[in-house]
Structure 1
Amino acid sequence: MFKSVLKKAAGAVAVAAGLAAMSAQAADVKVGFVYIGPPGDHGWTYQHDQGRLAVEKELGVETTFVENVPEGPDAERVINQLAATGHNLIFTTSFGYMNPTLKAAKRHKNVKFEHATGYKQAANVATYSGRFYEGRYVVGHIAGKMTKSNVLGYIASFPIPEVIRGINATIRGARAVNPDATIKVVWVSSWFDPGKESDAAKTLIDQGADVILQHTDSPAPVQVAEERGVWAVGQASDMHKFGEKAHLTAIIDDWAPYYIERTKAVMDGTWTGGGDTWGGFKTGMVVMADYNKAIPADVVELAESIRKGIIDGSVHPFAGPVVKQDGTVAVPAGETPDDGFLAGMNFYVEGVDGEMPQ
């Protein structure tokens, strides 16, 4: 009995000491975030900000964010300013921040940087992204089943591999269950512009699309879909409250576990740069939102079978054959492309209606 009490007391002391050490570490760490849009976009930036808030709540560290930072020289200025004002770890959360992040990292070698969706690393720069294309492949199956016109509409931001991969995954999913499905794309040259996104959704609906998808960050397309009586899929966050009838589901980006893990690594001295993390369904970085109750049960079952198949490795969105828009074979039947192929994707697959911007 006496020994048991001693053990419990020793354990309590150890826990208290651990908490005190964690508190001391937290006081020494300051984390910065650079956002392409506002946290209130209810999409991409909103989810990154939820991750930031989770870091504060879980670890007790001080965080800072700068919103609406354009990609280019302004981004470099903002990143340098965060680095110069005591931030030990800085997350830069848009593709166009890649080179500005690298430049800032050269100037501030004692600061640790994490760049979202990029592919260039350094000793003090790591990269991370989600396998959003996995969610888009699931959504493609749903869209292929739900469309009546056989025309899907896709609002795209910029013609980078991440976005092209999403378009291709969507139509491949759709045509797996509906060979007559096609997808029309409107490029808006912006990540967040509710006006442009709204106009693009209207244009696509006028062209016959009855399912609207997007790789842009505002809920405007979902709102237009609700008004016009067609289906929609949310981007990065659950957007159902902006169109409860229209919203089929959404591909949710859950950054919180990664942000907590990487901040902890800075706190305990185990953080390393130069690496890349590409998480998907299996790691929980990509999650499907609740399915609309209007989706038939067999379609939900199909969607879930695809999602689970991606997790267990029995399904790959780009398993061959992958046929380009011009009819040439990019991936032969029986083969599965590696991550390098996916990361450099710069072509449309069959089923995409229209030309890619140059």
Structure 2
Amino acid sequence: FPNGLENDWDGTMYETLQGIQAADLPCGLQGLELVYTEGAWGEDAVRVLREYAASGEYDVILDNGGAMDNTRPFYQEFPEIMFVIVGTNPSEMVTGGNLYFIDKRLHEANYLQGIIAGMMTETGVIGAVGPLSIDVTNAEINAFIEGARSVNPDVKVKVSWIDSWYDPPKANEATTAMIAAGADQIFMRSDGFEACEEGGIACYGATTDNSYLAPNSVVADSIANWTPEVVWFINQWCEAKTSGEPFSSPDLMYWAGYADGGVSLSDYYQGVPQEVSNKVDELVAGFMDGSFEVVPNYSVPVSD
């Protein structure tokens, strides 16, 4: 967990791995044994991953998509181990062999958050505070912006990056500046909830329930449930082990969305107009039956 368990992305995966039930697991497995390291990036990540692999004690090794380039040079040295990269741009996948890819269609829920923000803004200015600009965070922020513009084409956008996965003071500073620039609806992909609360504006959290951080400001969160992805890669592991064949990852990344139970929008923590709720419900139904799709946009979002 390179970002640490206080980070929503790593924290939700940790909670899933810790809480998954035997009934959810394939091939008769009764549970998972989890060993993890926090805060390893770059050369540290390479060292930790190599140590895990060389020990021979682990069947599956997970790594964050932000460290994929550290995994790529050596995973083939350990063909008996499944390596799983969590979060990546599909164009960067290496298919076949023992390197597998999973992600989360959080951009679906982020689009819905943008719908709410676009319909509820009073200033006509929305914002997004991001951690580091990588494919995953780019796609989430772009979806929020696209959702807002689908219902409010004239909305103005402010985007700020704090260049850190976890730095609440810096995130609050960026949020305060954004509020001063007129934003009254902010997608908080970082940790500036205190400034949202103090500024009396609406915020939208990412990945998990953030309402306790700003009980008067958070309108709705995107919620990640990693169970579908975990069950998928364990099933892939079981199939390889029971067949006696080498690992052979598929051409497509597995990433669960609304229709798979992997993504959802939280309850509304603040009141929203009925027309807003109706619009969100309409699009959720589209996600569920496949009639509506949001294509992830991995380009770097910028302010107007």
Range 291-300 or range 121-130, more displaced: 291-300
Matches within 5 A, 1:63-102: 63-70=34-41, 72-85=42-55, 86-92=57-63, 94-102=64-72
Paired AA for residue 99 in structure 1: D
Matched with 1:165 is 139
Measure the CA separation in 2 of the matches of 1:139 and 1:45: 22
Does 2:70 align with 1:120? no
Corresponding residue for residue 210 of structure 1:
184
- Once residues 214 and 188 of structure 2 are traced to their aligned partners in structure 1, the CA distance between those partners, rounded to angstroms, is 14
Give the counterpart of 2:81 among 111, 115, 119.
111
3-state DSSP of counterpart to 2:141: helix
In angstroms, what is the RMSD of aligned CA positions?
2.2
Give yes or no for contact 1:51–1:257 (8 Å, CA) kept in 2: no
Who is 1:274 aligned against?
249
What pairs with 1:33-52 in structure 2 (closer than 5 Å)? Answer: 35-41=1-7, 43-52=8-17
**What residue number does 2:26 align with?**
none
Residue 91 of structure 1 deviates from its aligned partner by: 1.1
Specify whether residues 40 and 172 from structure 1 end up closer, same or farther in structure 2 by C-alpha distance, changes over 3 A only: closer
Alpha carbons 1:237, 1:250 under 8 Å: kept: yes
Cα deviation for residue 173 of structure 1 reads 1.3
Q: Does the CA contact (< 8 Å) of 1:98 and 1:120 recur in 2?
A: no
Distance 1:159 1:134 in 2: 19
> Normalising by the residue count of structure 2, what TM-score does the alignment of the two structures yield?
0.86
Deviation sequence 1:205-259 (CA, Å, 0-9, x none): 111111121333xxx3223211211111111111111111111111111112321
Q: Secondary structure at the match of 1:63?
A: coil
Secondary structure at 2:183 match in 1: coil
> Percent identity at matched positions?
26
Partner of 1:256: 227
- Distance in 2 (alpha carbons) for counterparts of 1:182 and 1:95: 31
Q: Would you say 1:300 and 2:277 are equivalent positions?
A: yes
Q: Within 1, Cα distance between the matches of 2:179 and 2:247?
A: 47
CA contact under 8 A between 2:59 and 2:82: conserved in structure 1? yes
The two structures have a TM-score, normalised by structure 1, of 0.74
Query: Separation in 2 of the partners of 1:347 and 1:198?
Result: 21
Question: 1 or 2 for the larger relative contact order (CA 8 Å, sep ≥6)?
Answer: 2
Aligned-partner Cα distance in 2 for 1:188–1:40: 17
2:80 partner letter: N
In structure 1, what is the Cα distance between the partners aligned to 2:248 and 2:179? 45
1:340-355 matched pairs, under 5 angstroms: 342=296, 345-346=298-299, 353-354=303-304
Mapped contact 2:229–2:254 kept (Cα < 8 A):
no
Tell me the distance in 2 between the aligned counterparts of 1:37 and 1:136.
Answer: 21
C-alpha separation in 1, matches of 2:74 and 2:20: 23
Q: Is the 8 A contact 1:212 1:221 kept in 2?
A: no
Sort the Cα spacing of 1:264 and 1:346 in 2 relative to 1 into closer, same or farther, 3 A: closer
Deviations 1:106-154 (A, max 9, x none): 2222111100122323400010111222111111110011211111111
Partner of 2:258: helix, strand, or coil?
coil
| Partner Cα separation in structure 1 for residue 77 and residue 32 of structure 2 | 24
Distance across 2 between alignment mates of 1:284 and 1:55: 14
Cα 1:253–1:298 change in 2 (3 A) is same
Within the candidate set 105, 110, 113, 1:131 is matched to 105
The answer to which structure has the higher strand fraction is 1
Tell me the SS of whatever aligns to 1:90.
Answer: strand
Number of residue pairs matched by the alignment = 287
- The amino acid that maps onto 1:183 is V
Confirm or deny that 1:194 pairs with 2:207: no
The Cα shift of 1:164 comes to: 2.7
Preserved contact between residue 50 and residue 256 of structure 1 (Cα < 8 Å): no
More deviation in 285-294 or 141-150?
285-294
What letter corresponds to residue 114 of structure 1 in structure 2? V
Shift of 1:263: 2.6
Secondary structure (helix, strand or coil) at the match of 1:300 reads: helix
Contact 1:155 1:215 (C-alpha < 8 Å) held by counterparts: yes
Which ranges in structure 2 are unaligned for 5 or more consecutive residues? 24-29
Instruction: State the SS of the aligned residue for 1:52.
Output: helix
Contact 1:76-1:103 at 8 Å conserved across structures: no
Between the aligned partners of 2:48 and 2:122, the Cα distance in structure 1 is: 47
> What secondary structure sits across from 1:166 in the alignment?
helix
In structure 1, the gaps of 5 or more residues are: 1-34, 319-341
Q: Which moved more, 1:172-181 or 1:159-168?
A: 159-168
Q: Which has the larger radius of gyration?
A: 1
